[in-house]
Amino acid sequence: MQNRSLAPSWFGQVDYFCSLSHNSWSMTVDAIKDAITGLPDEDKIALATWLSLQTTDEWDRQMARDFAPGGRGFHVIEKVKADIRAGKFRPMIPPSRSE
C-alpha cells in the first residue's frame, strides 16, 4: 500500500493517469492521450517535436542494424556494390530544368 503522506502535492494528478505496476509507473495509451489533450498548445507542439525526434532516432538505429553485416538488408548493399564493381549501373541524371 502506498503511503500518501510522503507523496508530493501533485501526486493525486499523476495517480489519476498512472497505476503502480510491478514497482514501476506505467500509463495506458488512453491516459496519455487524455493528459496530452489537457496541455497548452505550445506544450503539445514541444511534445510532438520531441516524439518526432525519438521516432526518427529509432528509425535511424533500425536502418543501421538492418544494413550492418548480418542484418536483413546487408545482402542488398553487397549486391549493389557488386553491380557497381561490375559496371552494371547507370548514374542518376537529374531531370533538366526546362521540363
Higher pLDDT pick, 1 / 92 = 92
Q: Give pTM, 2 decimals.
A: 0.44
Can you give the residue range of the structural domain that contains 17?
1-38
Q: Are residues 43 and 76 in the same domain?
A: yes
pLDDT in the model for residue 25: 67
pLDDT in the model for residue 17: 46
Q: Are residues 4 and 46 in the same domain?
A: no
The number of domains in the chain is 2
Q: What share of the chain is helix, strand, coil (3-state, %, to 5)?
A: 60, 10, 35
pLDDT in the model for residue 90: 80
User: For residue 16, is pLDDT > 90?
Assistant: no
Q: Are residues 25 and 58 in the same domain?
A: no
User: For residue 12, is pLDDT > 50?
Assistant: no
- Average pLDDT of the segment spanning 41-60: 90
The answer to whether position 99 is within a domain reads no
The answer to whether position 14 is within a domain reads yes
Q: Are residues 73 and 45 in the same domain?
A: yes
